[in-house]
Amino acid sequence: MQLNINGEIFEVADGDGLRPLLWVLRDELGLTGTKYGCGAGICGSCTVHLDGVAARSCQTPLAQAAQAAIRTIEGLAQVQPDGSVRLHAVQQAFTEEQVPQCSWCMSGQMMTCAAFVEQNPAASEAQLLDAMQNNYCRCGCYARIRKGVLRAAQLAAQPAGTA
């Protein structure tokens, strides 16, 4: 079976098509940036994008993921033609606001935010915060997640190169 992840094609064993995408990414492909937190779709640590929409990879069967373009935290920043790395607006914003602490949940936080900001460039503050409501952070970075998300929306709205 082939998976399209971050614009690259990966080959994985066919096997059980119901096995969760999370463990295929982490254990079979070594993409460990996507984190396990609860395995029940509650905490949001495992969030990835399927065709640009935020999805809980612990609840996504492999066979379903194979139908979509998958994006993980490893593919959020873009490698420029000159080899330099351009952080995504949300990564830039989370760095500027010094959002993370332990950062285990942050892949999921940033993927949730990135999908929402890309799909809803004109979202209100309330809508942005509502989109983040189902991602747990045990370190309690919520005050900074709020700032980071609002800053990410601001950065994403600026034309490329002016951020």
Partner 1 sequence: MSAAPRKWKFSRRKLLIGLGVTGGALAVGLPLSLPFARLKIAGMLDSASAPAGTMPKDPFVWFEVTPQNRVRLYLPKAEMGQGVHTALAQIAAEELRPAWEQLEVLNASTARGFDMGTMSVGGSVVVSSLYSPLRAAGAALRLMLQEEGARQLGVASAAVTVAGGVVAVAADAAQALTFGQIVSAKQGAWVASKQEPQLREPAQFEFIGKPMPRVDFAAKITGAAPYGFDMRLPDMAYGAVARAPRIGAKLLSAAPGTARSQPGVVAVVATAEFAGVAAETRAQALAALDALQLQWSEGDVVEQADMEALVTVQPGTGTVLQSAGSVAAPLAAANTLRAEYRTPFAAHAQLEPQAALAHVRPDKVQVWCSTQSPGSLRAAVAKAVGRAAAEVEVTATYLGGSFGRKLNVDVALDAARLSAAALRPVHVSYTRAEEFQHGFFRPPTHHVLQGALDGAGRIVAMSHQQASGNVFPALVGRLLGADFGAYRGGLLRYNIPNRRVTSQPVALPVPTGFWRGLGLLANVFAVESFMDELALAAGMDALQFRLQHLPEGKLGERFKAVLLAAAERAGWGRALPAGHAHGLACSLDAGTVVAQVAEVSVQGARVQVQRFTSAVDCGVLVNPDIAAAQTEGSIMMGISSTLLEEITFSGGQAQATNFDRYPLLRLADAPLVETVFVQGDDVPHGMGEPPLGPVAAAVANAVFACTGQRLRSLPLKLA
Give the pair of three-digit tokens for residue 157. 């709205």
> Chain-centre distance of CA 125, in angstroms?
20
The Cβ of residue 159 has, within 10 Å, a number of other Cβ atoms equal to 6
Within 100-139, which residues bind partner 1 (CB under 8 A)? 100-107, 110, 129-130, 132-139
Q: Confirm or reject binding of residue 86 to partner 1 (CB under 8 A).
A: no
Q: Is 6 in the site for partner 1 (CB under 8 A)?
A: no
Q: Is residue 57 within the footprint of partner 1 (CB under 8 A)?
A: no
With 0-12 CB in 10 A as exposed, 13-18 as middle and 19+ as buried, what is 56?
A: buried
The residue type at 36 = Y
User: According to the binding rule CB under 8 A, does residue 60 interact with partner 1?
Assistant: no
Q: Does 10 bind partner 1 (CB under 8 A)?
A: no
Binding mask 13-52 for partner 1 (x = CB under 8 A): ------x---x--xx--x-xxxxxxxxx-xx-x-------
Q: How many residues bind partner 1 (CB under 8 A)?
A: 54
d(CA 8, CA 26): 16
What span, in angstroms and rounded, lies between the C-alpha atoms of 81 and 73? 20
Q: And the tokens for 142? A: 């919520």
**Residues at the site binding partner 1, with contacts judged by CB under 8 A:** 19, 23, 26-27, 30, 32-40, 42-43, 45, 72-74, 76-77, 85, 87, 91, 94-95, 98, 100-107, 110, 129-130, 132-146
